[in-house]
Homo-oligomer: A and B are copies of this chain.
Amino acid sequence: MKKNRENLKQDILLAAKSLFQNKGYQKTTMRNIALEVGISATTIYLYYKDKADIMHALHQEGFKILSQQFLTLRYVENPFERLKAMGRVYISFALENRDFYEIMFIMKEPLAHLQQEDTPDSDWEEGLASYEFLLDVVEECQQNGYFQGYNIKNLALMIWANMHGLCALKNNGHLDLVASKVDQDIDVSMVMQQSFDLYTKMIEKL
């Protein structure tokens, strides 16, 4: 049955995701995944071209999750409030899905895979949708009096970069490490919170 085939493909992805979460991409082996699913290692190649192809599937799934979470923000009427809420969603997504976040925004391999010529446009959709959602929010902010005289594309990239910087340094441990080395009783989650608040105040005054 075709259903079984699809099931197995999903099972492989699920196992890969779980293992990747626990041990990271590099340390997760094809044989690991196969064992988890209960199949032979080479069977995986009937469903995925190679290991990178599995990662690519997770890459897309991650963007699907993120763009769905962004969708809930449609009902925040005030555009600047929506922008702020978007930042909070982005940060909590990054912290609660560290593995996805790494595949989506830190590793280079999935991006190289996406740059290949034979990549269908559909593979881009979710990722671009997320970014265009940000772009729209920033633009709507501008239409409501914020960010007057600024280039919204640059602004959007800058806002993204700032959020990414916080999340990346938090997730890879640098933030905690530096904080603890320089001041024993610093609360990093508080730092993240305050940095975010401060940043929103800064751009609000633009």
Contacts and interface: CB of A to CB of B under 8 A. Distances in A.
Q: How many copies does the complex hold?
A: 2
A71 interface: no
Interface in A40-63: none
A181 B119 CA distance: 14
B160 A169 contact: yes
Interface in A115-168: 115, 124, 128, 131-132, 135, 150-151, 153-155, 157-158, 160-166, 168
A182 interface: yes
B106 A195 contact: no
A131 B172 contact: no
A128 B168 contact: no
B195 A206 contact: no
Interface stretch (A3-11, A12-20, A197-205): A197-205
B164 A168 contact: yes
A35 interface: no
Chain A interface mostly: helix
A157 B175 contact: yes
Contacts of A174: 105, 111
A111 B177 contact: yes
A142 to B, nearest CB: 14
Contact of A168 (B168, B186, B205): B168
A53 to B, nearest CB: 18
A72 interface: no
Contact of A166 (B132, B161, B198): B161
A191 B161 CA distance: 11
Given A111-B173, A131-B178, A165-B166, 17 more contacts: A106-B172, A108-B173, A111-B172, A114-B177, A128-B178, A131-B182, A153-B183, A153-B186, A154-B194, A154-B195, A154-B198, A157-B178, A157-B179, A160-B165, A161-B175, A161-B195, A165-B165
